[in-house]
Amino acid sequence: MKIYFMGICGTAMGNAALLARASGHEVIGADANIYPPMSTVLSEAGIVAHEGYDPGRLASLSPDLVVIGNAMMRGNPEVEWLLETRAVPFTSLPAMLHDQVLFRRKNIVVAGTHGKTTTTAVAAYLLRENGRDPGYLIGGVPQDPPTGSHLGSASDPFVIEGDEYDSAFFDKRSKFIHYSPHVAVFNNLEFDHADIFRDLADVQRTFVHFSRIIPRNGFAVLNGDDSNLRVLGPMPWTKVIRVGMDEGNDTRIVDFSETAAGSSFTLHWRGEKWGRVEWSLPGVYNARNAAMAATAAGLAVSGERPTSLSLDALGKFRGVRRRQEVLIAGSQLTVVEDFGHHPTAIAETLRSFRMRFPGALLTAVFEPRSNTARVKTLQAGFERALSNADEVYLGPVSRAGALRVEERFDPEAVAENLGAQGVHARHFPTNADLHDALAAETLPKGGKPRVVIFFSNGSFDGIIGRYAASAKG
Tell me the C-alpha distance between 353 and 151, whole Å: 36
Q: Which residues of the chain have pLDDT under 50?
A: none
Tell me the C-alpha distance between 126 and 469, whole Å: 34
The model's pLDDT over 24-77, given as tens digits with 9 standing for 90+, comes to 999 999 999 887 778 888 988 899 999 999 999 999 999 999 999 999 999 999
Element (H, E) at 435: helix 431-439
pLDDT of residue 24: 93
Tell me the C-alpha distance between 334 and 424, whole Å: 19
In the beta sheet, which residues pair with residue 2? 26
Given a contact cutoff of 8 angstroms between Cβ atoms, the answer to whether 365 and 395 are in contact is yes
Name the fold adopted by 104-316.
UDP-N-acetylmuramoyl-L-alanine:D-glutamate ligase (3.40.1190)
Cα 473 off chain centre by: 31
Integer CA distances (angstroms), 237 to 52, 140, 184, 306, 351, in order: 47, 33, 13, 20, 38
Tell me the C-alpha distance between 51 and 55, whole Å: 12
pLDDT of residue 11: 84
The CATH architecture of the domain made up of 2-94 is 3-Layer(aba) Sandwich (3.40)
Through-space distance between the first and last CA atoms of the chain, rounded to whole angstroms: 51
Tell me the C-alpha distance between 110 and 246, whole Å: 21
Kindly calculate the radius of gyration of the chain based on its CA atoms and give it in whole angstroms.
Answer: 22
pLDDT of residue 446: 65
Pairing of strands 158-161, 166-168: unpaired
Given a contact cutoff of 8 angstroms between Cβ atoms, the answer to whether 288 and 223 are in contact is yes
The helix-helix angle for 463-472 and 431-439 (nearest 10°) equals 20
Question: Is the pTM here over 0.85, yes or no?
Answer: yes
Tell me the C-alpha distance between 15 and 8, whole Å: 9
pLDDT of residue 473: 64
SS3 183: strand
The model's pLDDT over 191-221, given as tens digits with 9 standing for 90+, comes to 888 888 999 999 999 999 999 999 999 999 9
Cα 240 off chain centre by: 24
SS3 257: strand
List all residues 6 or more positions away from 110 whose beta carbon is below 8 Å from its beta carbon. 116, 119, 120, 123, 159, 160, 161, 162, 185, 187, 292, 293, 296
In one-letter notation, the amino acid at residue 69 is: G
* Domain locations along the chain: 2-94, 104-316, 325-472
pLDDT of residue 294: 98
SS3 142: strand
pLDDT of residue 117: 92
Q: How many CB atoms lie within 10 A of CB 416?
A: 12
CATH of span 325-472: 3.90.190.20
